[in-house]
Amino acid sequence: MDAWLIDLPKRKFFVMGDTHLHYPNDKNDHTLRKYVKYCLENQIHFIDAGDTLDFSTRTSKTNPNETHISNHELKKYLVDIYKPLAQAGLLDGIIEGNHTMRAWDSCGLLPIEDVVDRLNSFAPPSNHVRYLKSRAVIVYKIPVKGEKNQQGFFKIYVGHGAGGGATDGGAVNALKKNLSVVRNADLYIEGHRGKCSVTYNEILDIELPRGSQGTKVYLNPSEIKFIQLPGLHFTKDSYAEQKGYPPSNHTHFVIELCIARKNNDRIRRNSKKILITELNF
């Protein structure tokens, strides 16, 4: 797993996954383009959480004949969709999902790594597109409210996800298992399971006084948020319909990160907030 430090001057980012593109101009294609356009117009950073391409093979659940074009052409098509985001320095990274990992399992190819390489020919060096493999940690550096020239950090775990999607509770529990992988992220995000939820855990941080003075130990509450991303399943005569998957929830989230300095008794610490806005195109 890799970790990346990225400047986020406007404090907002967007995550989307499981678009399952399988041919140009389908419903999922139009939905993805709407979110890309929204992020471009509002200068919001974008993370792809994997399985943007359906990438069907002869042995996969999806019939290859549903795609209408080859997987090679699909890769070029995704480059075309994401090119404006890459040029603007807003595409922070793309994850390799289980659908595209079919190519790795069958012949040792990594389709999303190829897509990222092509996109980086358009991206500015100051904010290239990162290949996030199956999961990564992104540390966003943002301005601190109320303090000139001060910056703070948010630790974001983002992965594609695996298993645990049969029920809503199973999806949330599978997502929260990542606490044992990455211990102290502020936000955990995964897709894959086709469920949509925002949950949180509140825990107590142990804080000691600064310097040698004082004997009091402080227990300050802090909040860890978890976002389970929905998917965009194609339905008519597809494996999603055959397996009885519920209709897709197209709600996605713009995530705003805020840090404001606060004085708590004799301890001066950061107060972090994560604000979530729903979008549904």
Please tell me which residue, 161 or 187, carries the higher pLDDT value. 187
How do beta strands 218-228 and 197-207 pair? antiparallel
Instruction: Specify the DSSP element, H or E, that contains 110.
Output: none
Kindly report, residue by residue over 57-79, the tens digit of the pLDDT: 656 666 555 556 777 788 888 99
Taking the C-alpha atoms of residue 281 and residue 131, their distance in angstroms, rounded to an integer, is: 27
Residue 39, pLDDT above cutoff 50: yes
What is the reported pLDDT for 265? 44
Interval 257-268 mean pLDDT: 62
Instruction: Show the CA angle centred on residue 94, arms to residues 91 and 95, nearest 5°.
Output: 160
For the chain, the maximum distance between any two Cα atoms, rounded to a whole number of angstroms, is: 72
Kindly report, residue by residue over 217-258, the tens digit of the pLDDT: 777 677 778 888 877 655 555 556 666 666 666 778 899 999
- Percent of the chain residues past pLDDT 70, beyond the cut: 77
What does pLDDT average to over the chain?
81
Please tell me which residue, 21 or 76, carries the higher pLDDT value. 76
Locate all alpha helices (DSSP H) within the chain, ordered by sequence: 27-42, 71-87, 101-107, 111-119, 168-176, 239-242
Residue 268, pLDDT above cutoff 50: no
Which range is least confidently modeled, 30-34, 112-116, 202-206? 202-206
Which of the four pLDDT bands, split at 50, 70 and 90, describes residue 266? very low
Kindly report, residue by residue over 174-197, the tens digit of the pLDDT: 888 888 888 888 999 988 777 778
